[in-house]
Structure 1
Amino acid sequence: MHVKRTRVHGIPARRAAPVGAFFTAVLAAILLTACGGGSGAKASQTAAKVNKEEITVHQINFVLQRQPNIKPEQVDAASRQILERLIDQELAVQKAQDLKLDRDPRVVQQIETAKREIIARAYADHLGETAAKPTDQEIKQYYNDKPALFAERRIYNLQEINIEAKPDQFESIRAKLQGAKTLPDFLEALKADNFKFVGSQMVRSAEQIPLNNLDAIARLKDGQFIMNGHPNGLTVLFLAGSQRQPATEAQARASIEMFLLNQRRAELVAKDIKSMRDNAKIEYVGKFAEAAASAPAGTPPAAAPAPAVSDSPTGASGPVDNNELAKGLGIK
């Protein structure tokens, strides 16, 4: 199991790049052109000329607006850096066009797909603007309903062990865990019986853990664990230690307000999409018609329940969704 690493994007390497790399540059250039510039732009709005093409101040501002937490005194330096990246991007686009990569069917399809996603997102944003802001009482209620996130917020030092095992071996593994005095003792017992496992350790604050897992983890005391079965074996989540760092309602207010507002926006979009589906003529063809007949649109298939192991008296009750947990904890 590996901790997910954040990739830092920079200037593309000076070597032959796959079609997807050129697509990124082509699409970004299309978006920036749509936001300003082009051959008809006024000279005063031109920031640089790259061969016969212009890069405009509007393009720089468009990128600048998408950069979070830039201080006023950093704007000029950031603008110059953005301009240099746009120059590199324009050169890549021009080279791609010379090679006729913009006509490659895969590139055309990706551009069209991205265009549809952008238009659909614009619809969602437009509809979301009609959502009512949460009231003071609703914000206070959410704060009170989520003590693990706020009033009883903790920083968790978690150790996760994923064990390959069959369902009939779960009880034996649980007995080993209950009988071990320390986590290393438990791992040695697994090795002795030739169980394969991988482990990881991470420090996560309450808000970095998916909401559907947080309550179960918050019930743990230091030194306790949760054991949960899944199709490929068992996951043991051990709380090595924790530190209380509560957040006041005033500190959490802005985050709660944004969360509730985004939630309402998503509900509006889902409701409107459902209404449109109900009133649209949708015809499935071929193999998709057979699938649609057995699973009506809008009804997700039920997930098969994973075999679960009850927690020990010294552990905590309540299974944890391992897939969501892994995603929330930033592990693969």
Structure 2
Amino acid sequence: MKALMWRRPAGRLIVVAAIAACSPLDQDKVAARVNGEKILAEEVDLALQYKGVAKHDPTARQRLVEKLVIEELLAQQFLRGTPGSALVEKSAVSAARREILARSYIETLVGRVPRPTAEQMSAYYRDNPNMFARRRIFTLRQLDVSAAPSRHAELRRRVGGAESLDALADWLRRENIRFVRTDLERGSDELEGNLVAQLDGLKKAEVGVLDTSSGLRVIQLVRTRPAPIDEKTASPSIEQRLWREMRVAAVEAEVSRLSGMAAISIPEGAPRGAMQALVPDPDPPLARRITGVAPPSVKAPGG
């Protein structure tokens, strides 16, 4: 019998996970047992792969097995002492299975997307002059205002009549409207295209208002200066940016293809047609977890 054991100072948790009474074949398949429940070697391999660690790294493997043993102990205690835990367990297993398998498929899918060619990178440089050839640095002052929608119109009027951003901030304090003030400097390649277009419409020291998910953003343009980037200098960032966009596009295309062949219905509403294409939910999509890039805005099915 082999045992995996580690101890902590007196008064702390002492955990002993035994791999016992296993045949040689079982030894290859079972990483540990906790009160008779198996932790499979396949689980360890999958977790290591997801973390980007070689599965034959003994130190990383042992550390992960110890972590899984503690998790299993806590899970067993939850199941023993929590009413309705069986339903929670079933739902958790179902959700974890769906997410893990979907993520694994996306990783396989994006792994097949080739890096952009030199021609594609040159075209990207030419098609996005504000990011490169006509790149600028914007110095901004902004207030992120958490105001109720009923006060948005009033706030917009105040912005139009305010002597300065400081005067507007004073008014917000008097009205007990929460806001966060930020001074920042960003290149046009770091800003969303629609924001760059709006900033282009502002004069120096002029103030504009943008809608955000949590309220309104008041922006004052302090100054702007040119900071172009030539194609050779931009090539490494273009390659990474374009490759991410290509991988997101590949995921969206595959989801659309699969949903076009599937019969999909939403319990809260009317059944959707089998040909209605779906795209990943942007908050947060699996595509973003894998590639680091958010897909374009999403329309509701059938919308």
Match of 2:48 in 1: 64
Check whether the contact 2:259–2:278 (CA below 8 A) recurs between aligned residues.
no
Match of 2:182 in 1: 201
Match of 1:188 in 2: 170
Which of residues 249, 255, 258 in structure 1 aligns to 2:243?
258
1:161 pairs with 2:154: no
Which of residues 211, 225, 235 in structure 1 aligns to 2:192?
211
Check whether the contact 1:227–1:235 (CA below 8 A) recurs between aligned residues.
yes
Residue type at the aligned position of 1:169 = E
The structural deviation recorded for 1:236 is 0.7
Match of 1:93 in 2: 75
How big is the alpha-carbon RMSD for the aligned residues of Structure 1 and Structure 2? 4.9
Q: Distance in 1 between matches of 2:78 and 2:182?
A: 44
**Structure 1 spans left out of the alignment, 5+ residues:** 1-13, 15-37, 301-332
Structure holding more strand per residue: 2
Q: Residue 116 of structure 2 aligns to a residue in which SS?
A: coil
Deviation string 1:222-252 (CA, Å, 9 cap, x unpaired) is 7554313579974312356789696922331
- Report matched runs for 1:307-322 at 5 Å: none
Q: Residue 66 of structure 1 aligns to a residue in which SS?
A: helix
Check whether the contact 1:139–1:256 (CA below 8 A) recurs between aligned residues.
no
The structural deviation recorded for 1:265 is 0.8
Q: How many residues align?
A: 250
Check whether the contact 2:209–2:219 (CA below 8 A) recurs between aligned residues.
yes
Check whether the contact 1:159–1:202 (CA below 8 A) recurs between aligned residues.
yes
Give the TM-score, by structure 2 length.
0.57
Give the TM-score, by structure 1 length.
0.53
* Overall identity of the aligned pairs, in %: 20
The higher relative CO (CA closer than 8 Å, separation ≥ 6) is in 1
The structural deviation recorded for 1:130 is 5.8
Match of 1:173 in 2: 158
Match of 1:139 in 2: 121
Deviation string 1:38-97 (CA, Å, 9 cap, x unpaired) is 9875546766554545656654443333335x7x9xx66544432331221232233345
Q: Residue 288 of structure 1 aligns to a residue in which SS?
A: coil
Higher deviation after alignment, 211-220 or 249-258: 211-220
**Structure 2 spans left out of the alignment, 5+ residues:** 1-11, 13-21, 280-303
